[in-house]
Structure 1
């Protein structure tokens, strides 16, 4: 086992037929940043939001409650700020290569984010990702209200979407892969045929069957 990865590798049906669906987190996994912190920079609340985000990702806070608390600090920002944040996002090294190789092998790719659709959807379109789900910020009169529209994409929702997309794509759960870095990814990591902690918080590394220890998504392929 290399220093780049540790833990289980693909086995059984996953090893025999290859992955049929890979679902990954967005913030600090597909991209380098936490989107809510980029938005909060414009509201002057980045330090406060970063502290809450860190605690939530370590599993110290209820995710939904912490998200609503962080989003409340964004109230009043003009919606145009979101376009600036989209331009600021940086893909994690190896993201394009991982997605291209998966697609070339016939594997579908999905992203699930505790962040926001306004950023995740353009990323999905740019990368040719097959499934996308994220939270949506409420807007009124061209400004953020400080609230989230509809359901919150938390640990349970991420797990449910992994199963839902696998059924829709006709993929056995044994051939699914889940990749994430935070405590809210642990449900889908446990449910997948292979769950991978990506440069993750200690609580995730301890519980995930496999882990990538470098910020390079191509290392995921070493486990497949």
Structure 2
């Protein structure tokens, strides 16, 4: 009986990578996308890659970032699957190696319960190129999920996770039901089920 579902955000609920959309503002999307792809495949240290990618955002007006964050496209079926799971009494949490500016807004649109992510540091309304938060490291998702399970009194078998990249591996280890969604091979190897169709409603088959 699943009681908690943890979703990754970028390329799982949101169609694409939040930081790549931010980087478009300064014409650095190709550089950032290249680093992101390697990090999600497990080829780069997540923390180092995150710092490197965020450094490209230095100097962007924070209002522009907020505007981009509120116009991100969602994966087909995102709202439907969250509604479906909540009707079953399942709590929905988002863990994102991305940013609260995107996940907090998406929470209002998609209807999940809470999110853990990172914060883009700003000074005088402008991004400094620095970042901090709850999801800075490759193993952050696993550590936070372990704490959440303890707080909520949940066993491994009462938890499911949905993700696509290498930084989702640690949370997969803490869950009984693991769904790799349009995922990198490194994550597919650890999954209970693999969904390759880009429609989150496919998850209904397994819950």
TM over 0.5: yes
Moved more, 209-218 or 54-63: 209-218
Deviation at 1:203, TM superposition (A): 1.5
Seen in structure 2, the aligned counterparts of structure 1 residues 47 and 126 have a Cα distance that, compared at 3 Å, is same
Distance 1:111 1:205 in 2: 20
Cα offset, 1:127, TM superposition: 2.3
Equivalent residue, structure 1, for 2:17:
34
- State the Cα distance separating 1:190 from its structure 2 match: 2.3
1:111-122 alignment, distance < 5 Å: 111-122=94-105
Q: 2:196 maps to which residue?
A: 213
Structure 2 counterpart SS, 1:196? strand
Aligned residue for 1:43?
26
2: CA distance between counterparts of 1:115 and 1:202? Answer: 21
SS at match of 1:80: helix
Query: What is the CA–CA distance in structure 2 between the aligned matches of 1:139 and 1:112, rounded to whole Å?
Result: 22
Is 2:173 aligned against 1:190?
yes
Instruction: Using the TM superposition, name which of 185-194 and 168-177 deviates more.
Output: 168-177
**Which of the pair has the greater relative contact order for Cα pairs under 8 Å at 6+ separation?**
1
- How many residues were matched structurally? 207
Q: Give 1:151-190 correspondences, 5 Å limit.
A: 151-190=134-173
Take 1:142 and 1:80, find their aligned partners in 2: how far apart are those partners? 7
| Partner Cα separation in structure 2 for residue 150 and residue 86 of structure 1 | 17
Rg: which structure is higher?
1
1:24 match: 7
Asked whether the 8 Å contact 2:10–2:16 carries over to 1, the reply is yes
1:139 equivalent to 2:125? Answer no
Normalization by structure 2: what TM-score? 0.95
Partner residue, 2:110: 127
Greater mean alpha carbon deviation, residues 161-170 or residues 45-54:
161-170
> Which 4+ residue blocks in structure 1 deviate beyond 6 angstroms?
none
Q: Which blocks of at least 5 consecutive residues in structure 1 are unaligned? A: 1-17
Cα gap change, 1:89/1:165 in structure 2, threshold over 3 Å: closer, same or farther? same
Offset of 1:119 from its aligned partner?
0.7
Q: Normalising to structure 1: TM-score of the pair?
A: 0.88
Structural RMSD (CA): 1.4
Query: Helix, strand or coil for the counterpart of 2:161?
Result: strand
Specify every segment of 5 or more residues in structure 2 that has no aligned partner in the other structure, as ranges: none
SS in 1 for 2:118: strand
- Equivalent position of 2:63 in the other structure: 80
